[in-house]
Structure 1
Amino acid sequence: MIPAKAIDHRVARGTREDDPDSRPSGFTVFVKHKPLLILALALAIFHLGNAAIVPLYGLAVVAAKEANGPSFVATTIVVAQGVMVVASIVGMRAAESRNYWPVVLVSFLALPARGVLAYWITGWWGVLPVQILDGVGAGLQSVAVPGMVVRSMNGTGRINLGQGAVITVQGIGASLSPALGGWIAQWIGYQPTFLGGFGLIAVALYRVCIGRQELLNNIRNPKTFPPIASDW
């Protein structure tokens, strides 16, 4: 029902309107695009440690007979989803005023804090702080990561390809997380598993490789959000 004339295909693809040489290019643009690759890798590492916390935390609490399984797991989902809605709104406002990269950085920092809380708090009431941080991380990433991809791929004509590639790499980390977390938990126990260093690795990778360049961009022109692709 959308009129064809209402769609600006050049803008929708992310092609620069004032650059006649900026045309949609092949998949090699993503392969050679360092910021996008680093962002995708950092997200994969983050979700490799993040996705396993909810099922393992539920197993730990139920195994200790401190909560009812079905109701406890349902509570974890409700708390995280509710906080995620609020966090996404806050993240959107923060990105508008301060940029996307610090919002993503804060979302990464939520994982180490969440792991520490899960390590020390094993009880039915511990679901609140643990899952509040889960909602914070998910909510911030839901608005900041697409914004980072759009900025990074601007002018290439492959914004949708970039979004799909990042989500695919991120999904690989999330899908492997329960298997890896379950293996580690069987080996050394539930509590030590929560202290996995994946969150810190993601923070370090993102902060060193992307944060430095984003800071330089803000110093050059703090009033605008320039694409970071040209600086790489």
Structure 2
Amino acid sequence: MAAEVAAPDKEASEPSPRSASRRSLRSLDGLNFLMADVRDGLGPFLSVFLKSSQHWDSGSIGIVMAASGLAAAVFQIPAGMLVDSVHAKRLLVALSGLLVAAACMVIAWFPRLAAVFGAQIVLGAASAIIPPSLAALSLGIVGHRLMPARIARNESFNHAGNFTAAVLAGGLGQFVGVHWLFYLVCGFAMASALVVLLIDPRAVDHELARGGETLRTASGAHRPVPLAELWRDRRLRVFLMTVVLFHFGNAAMLPLAGQLIAQTHPGMDVIALSACVIAAQLVMMAVAAVVGRAMKAGVGRKTIFLVALAILPVRGLLFCLTTNPYGIVGIQLLDGVAAGIFGVVAVVITSDLMRGTGRFNVAQGLMALCVGIGAALSNVMGGLVAARFGFVAAYLSLSAIAVLAFALFACCMSETGREDTISTDALANDAG
């Protein structure tokens, strides 16, 4: 398979990182900070707005909340193919940001079922385009060797943006009104559309951006590997199955914790969940930076990813031991470690596996689809088990699935990093 064929000499196959505009790299920092709030849209705050301000029934809220998730799942792979095939990646990011802003305004000004349903579909489609576009721009600017350092930096800014947005959202929702959250997301979206234009289009090698090896100055670009051939790579199959199992074991844990707090400590559920989100984002910010340094020092992707997989069942078992809100917030810090590792290493592994195929962003779409499948299975199974057998049984079931994910990856996955992707200190500094 093309992903496993020896690459050309690294000095001939990638641009020097010093040729990338410093302004473009700083713009990537700002873009990841701003897009943290935009890519997830309104999230759970939409249900609060519709219930408290518009007095919608739970069934209608469930329909529009599901619309965004389903649209994101449907658009994942087409979005990856689109990002791989076009050179106007900056335009894709800008248009996605503007679509998010427009959808938020539609919901705020016309909170009726048809309008909100349509806006949620637009938000779902935009959320499918944004992550692969950001990763493609990063790879196209810094190349394969510096991708681990760049992704770690991206994730640090992403989590900083999530933390800032969570604090602002909490303050606006508490003191001004839930409807102001729409303007907050809209402001972030419009700012991101402007910041992406600061990236120098000459700094982006579009062949590298889709996972290829050929310079823009070469006589011709390699044709992407046929989609059917991607699936022949056993490592890709193992990785995607691990992603499904990771999120199968992970996604329902925090919602179940929220239900448990609401049941045992009424009135503390909202503030405890907010504390969980904010604390986890702070941890993710630090972990992303540490993971980048670890990969730069030569620690394998497999080793680092196994740490995230090992933390998940431990977290599930600890949730079985307490109903104390403060204890649950403390346990949730472990999610910050696991999710912080996943956010960096999963993209880097995808880049490794797709190197030379020209299908980097398609693979990202596949990974995102696997994340959605795993999360959906987790919430369905977690909820059913908790309703029938109790919260402890639900956490034990999720922990067992997490153990399966660890065993699969440990036994069946090989290291994906190559010697020429381990950066020196000077190169890593250029990537940041």
The TM-score with structure 2 as length reference comes to 0.47
Instruction: Return closer, same or farther for 1:126/1:66 CA change in 2, 3 Å cut-off.
Output: farther
Alignment of 1:50-69 (within 5 A): 50-65=250-265, 68-69=268-269
CA-to-partner distance for each residue in 1:197-225, whole Å, 9 max, x for gaps?
01100000111111xx32xx78xx8x545
Aligned 1:1-232 pairs, distance under 5 A: 1=197, 4-17=201-214, 22-65=222-265, 68-97=268-297, 98-196=299-397, 197-210=400-413, 213-214=414-415, 223-225=419-421
Say which structure, 1 or 2, has more relative contact order (CA 8 Å, 6+ apart): 1
Q: Which amino acid aligns with 1:100?
A: R
| Partner Cα separation in structure 2 for residue 124 and residue 11 of structure 1 | 47
Specify the alignment match of 2:65 in structure 1. none
CA distances 1:181-203 after superposition (whole Å, capped 9, x unpaired): 01011121101211220110000
- 1:9 to partner: Cα distance: 2.3
Alignment partners' CA distance in 2, 1:170 and 1:190: 23
User: Which amino acid in 2 is paired with 1:202?
Assistant: A
Structure 2 residues not aligned, in runs of 5+: 1-196, 423-432
2:209 and 2:263 mapped to 1: Cα distance? 51
Larger-gyration structure (1/2): 2
Give how far 1:21 is off.
9.3
Partner of 1:229: none
- The answer to whether the 8 Å contact 1:52/1:181 transfers is yes
Contact 1:45-1:199 within 8 A present in 2 as well: yes
Match of 2:106 in 1: none
User: Higher mean Cα deviation, 153-162 or 88-97?
Assistant: 88-97
Contact 2:207 2:221 in 1 (8 A): no
What displacement does 1:153 show? 0.8
Q: Distance in 2 between matches of 1:224 and 1:138?
A: 26
Q: CA deviation at 1:30?
A: 2.8
2:244 counterpart letter in structure 1? A
Q: 1:16 to 1:112 in 2, by over 3 A?
A: same
- Distance in 1, matches of 2:283 and 2:336, equals 5
Q: In the alignment, what sits opposite 1:230?
A: none
How much does 1:46 deviate? 1.1
CA distance in structure 2 between the aligned counterparts of 1:111 and 1:164, rounded to whole angstroms: 24
Helix, strand or coil for the counterpart of 1:120?
Answer: coil
After TM superposition, give the deviation of residue 147 of structure 1 in Å: 0.4
Q: For 1:91 and 1:110, how far apart are their aligned partners in 2?
A: 15
Q: Structure 1 residue 149: deviation in Å?
A: 0.5
Measure how far apart 1:163 and its partner are: 1.1
Which stretch has the larger CA shift, 133-142 or 72-81? 72-81
